[in-house]
Structures are given as structure tokens and as C-alpha cells.
Amino acid sequence: MSVAASFSIEYVEHLAADGRLKGERLPNWVESPQQLVDLYRHMLFTRSFDSKAVALQRTGKLGTYASCLGHEASHVGVASAMHVDDLLAVSYREIGAMLMRGVRPREILMYWGGDERGSCFEQAINDLPICVPIATQCLHAAGSALAFKLREEPRVAVAFVGDGGSSKSDFYAALNSAGAYALPLVLVVVNNQWAISVPRRAQTGAQTLAQKGLAGGLESIQVDGNDLLAVREVAEHAIKRARNGHGGTVIECITYRLSDHTTADDARRYRDEAEVKAAWEKEPMLRLRRYLIEQGLWSESEETEWKQECNQRVDEEVNAYLELAPPPATDMFDYLYAELPDDLRGQRAQLEGPR
């Protein structure tokens, strides 16, 4: 009996829940303290937007919405490590990452407000739209990464997927092809412990979700997903590796879904309030705020001020969203093919004309 292969999965963390650094100093990626403040602002903006979106849904002004409460460090940590030219493939909850990449708040609202125009991003033109069929976006990212590689473009594709989504065939297929072709692909598994009502442990017998990467021969690493310092470090490393032609990585971000699954869900039906309460102790904003304040980089008054500014910006976006006239019904024909086939002209006319 001999050993054919051996592996270990590392866990990375820097910032403790109480806001203290675990190590001696900040990780290398931090170029200036101001960088941390900027990222913290992004996280706060995300949270402002998110709570506003939930409120809009509650008052009937938005359809079902999936909150990203508690995911801010994972979203901002990863997205901030990307280059503009890279590609982001989200599922539906990565609001923080989308905003960071330049998707406009109104676009996100339009999408959840039942308007396809929300996926016609004005700025984040490299990125893929929200992808509801779980984990299928991982393969779009893999195929895009293959295109980058074939064309020798120094670009990286980053896909987000949930703990639940990491059970899905498409996720395995993506990591398998990432390994087979040594693709510049980073798969970020946001392990927020729940897939609607199904807990993480019911999804798989694996000790970590990161180790799924081993099935494809990928780099595989676990990180405290509530720790911006750690997430950004791990993401930056994986993205650089990918860009330099060294292949793909699976990153498991350990975090917690502090909200219901969506506004259509009631999590009290299936999970313990105590668990949620405990998770609030570890949430990502608080610890970073504590750290920044401790270091004299941020203050309560700046917090208040920035929150106000966030709310104002969000309100503007909300207004823009609410004022939008519905799209013409004929859009459903007009964007179906590059050119409408003759066969469908009659139907389009019927839709348009008086019935």
C-alpha cells in the first residue's frame, strides 16, 4: 500500500469578530488604510441598498427579492480583487459584488421588479446577468474562461455559487473543466449555511465545500467569509494565479444568511432564532467597523454621514426605477432573435394590434 496523492485544505482568517487582527499585521494586499475605508463604504452602501430593496418589496413595489444581508465581505472582498476586464458570473444574491462591479442599483431593482431591461447593464458590460437556475452560471464562466485562454487574453472569470449550489451538477462540471483545461476560473462558494430550508450538512458528506475542488485538481481553500481582509487576500491570490496561467481555484467563504431566503420565504419555519442571533455576533460589518474605528480610520460621525449619503443615493435610484414606464410588450418579440423571422410577424402584429 502506498500513497497516491495527499491534500490539505487551508482556512484563512485575519480579522476576529471583535475587530482585532489575528496576526501581527495587515495582509499584504492592503496598500493603504484608505483602501479599507473605501471597501467598508462599499459594504455599507450594499447594506443600505439591500434593506431598501426589502422595504420596497414589503410595500408591493418590487417582486420577490433575495437579500444579501451578511454577505457583504464575501461579495466586496471578491469583486474588489477583480480587474475591470474580468468577468463576473453571479447567482442572484451577490448584490454587493454586482454593485462593486458597476451594476446600477436601478438595474437590480428593474430585474426584481419584473423588467428584463435590468439585465442590460449600462456599465458592467463584461458581466453576466443574474442567473436563477442554480450553478449554471459556473459553466458560463468556465466557457468564458476557455475563450479568454484560447485568445490569450489576460482575463479571469469569477463565478459565485451557494452552498446549495455546490451540490449541483453544473458546479461539478465547471470545476471538472477548469481542471481539464487549466482555465482562468475562480469558483467562489458562498457557504451561508442554508439553501432555502436545507442546512449545509444535508447537502453533502464532505467536511468542507472547498475540497470539492480536489475532484478537479483545483486549488481549494476555505476562508472566513465575514472577514473582508481574508476574503480579499484569498480572492486576489486565486485571481492572480488564474491570470498567470496556473489554473482554477475553489474558494469556500464561510458566512451566514442573516435574512430569510427571499422575501417570499419565512425562515422561522425551519431554523432556530438562536442560531441567527449567534450569527449576528460574527457578521462582517461590525468587526471591520470596530477595527477601523480602533485604528482611527473611521468614526461614528463618518458612519452616520456615509449612511445618509448611501440612503440618498439609493433613493435616487429607487425613484429612477419607480418612474420607469413599462417596456413595450412587443419587446418580447423584438429581442428574441437578431431579426424577427417571418414566421412570427403575424403573432407580433396580433400582440400589437387591437385584440
Ligand X SMILES: Cc1ncc(C[n+]2csc(CCOP(=O)(O)OP(=O)(O)O)c2C)c(N)n1
Place of cell 474580468: 86
Identify what 194 binds: ligand X, other proteins, a copy of itself, none; CB under 5 to 8 Å per kind.
ligand X
**Of 205 and 296, which CB lies nearer to a copy of itself in the complex structure?**
205
Active site residue 270: yes
Residue in 257, 282, 287, 289 binding ligand X, rule: CB under 6 A: 257
- For position 162 contacting Mg ion by CB under 5 A, the verdict is yes
Residue in 19, 33, 217, 327 binding a copy of itself, rule: CB under 8 A: 217
Grid cell digits, residue 306: 456615509
Contact code string over 148-177 relative to a copy of itself, x by CB under 8 A: -------------------x-xx-xx--x-
Estimate to the nearest angstrom the gap between the alpha carbon of 224 and the chain centroid: 15
- For position 203 contacting other proteins by CB under 8 A, the verdict is yes
Tell me phi and psi for residue 16, to 5 degrees. -75, 165
**Of 132 and 351, which CB lies nearer to ligand X in the complex structure?**
132
Under rule CB under 8 A, which residues in 147-176 are in contact with other proteins? 147-148, 150-151, 157, 162, 164-165, 167-170, 173-174, 176
Q: Which amino acid is at 212?
A: K
- For position 278 contacting other proteins by CB under 8 A, the verdict is no
From 261, 287, 289, 321, the catalytic residue: 261
Give the separation between CA 72 and CA 42, rounded to whole angstroms: 9
Rg (CA), the chain: 21
Which has the closest alpha carbon to 257: 267, 269, 244?
A: 267
Give the separation between CA 29 and CA 224, rounded to whole angstroms: 16
From 14, 257, 287, 289, the catalytic residue: 257
- For position 110 contacting a copy of itself by CB under 8 A, the verdict is no
State the DSSP code for 214: G
Give the separation between CA 317 and CA 171, rounded to whole angstroms: 34
Active site residue 246: no
- For position 196 contacting a copy of itself by CB under 8 A, the verdict is no
Sign, CA torsion 196/197/201/205: negative
Which has the closest alpha carbon to 41: 309, 314, 312?
A: 309
Residue in 23, 133, 154, 245 binding other proteins, rule: CB under 8 A: 133
Tell me phi and psi for residue 64, to 5 degrees. -50, 140
Straight-line distance from the first to the last Cα atom of the chain, in angstroms, rounded to the nearest whole number: 77
Give the separation between CA 80 and CA 97, rounded to whole angstroms: 8
Identify what 11 binds: ligand X, other proteins, a copy of itself, none; CB under 5 to 8 Å per kind.
a copy of itself
Per the CB < 8 A criterion, the answer to whether 19 and 290 are in contact is yes
Under rule CB under 8 A, which residues in 213-252 are in contact with other proteins? none
- For position 134 contacting ligand X by CB under 6 A, the verdict is yes
Identify what 335 binds: other proteins, a copy of itself, Mg ion, none; CB under 5 to 8 Å per kind.
other proteins
**Of 59 and 207, which CB lies nearer to a copy of itself in the complex structure?**
207
Q: Which amino acid is at 227?
A: D
Give the separation between CA 43 and CA 57, rounded to whole angstroms: 21
Under rule CB under 8 A, which residues in 1-60 are in contact with a copy of itself? 1-13
Under rule CB under 6 A, which residues in 79-108 are in contact with ligand X? 93
**Of 62 and 230, which CB lies nearer to other proteins in the complex structure?**
62
Q: Which residues of 100-115 are buried (b: 16+ CB within 10 A; e: fewer)?
A: bbbbbbbbbbbbbbeb
Residue in 177, 192, 203, 263 binding Mg ion, rule: CB under 5 A: 192
Q: What is the DSSP code string of 264-275?
A: T--GGGTS-HHH
Stretch near ligand X under the rule CB under 6 A, chosen from 118-126, 187-195, 205-213, 226-234: 187-195
> Would you tell me which residues interact with Mg ion (CB under 5 A)?
162-163, 192, 195
Residues annotated as catalytic (active site), given as ranges: 257, 261, 270
> Would you tell me which residues interact with ligand X (CB under 6 A)?
93, 132-134, 162-165, 192, 194-196, 257, 261
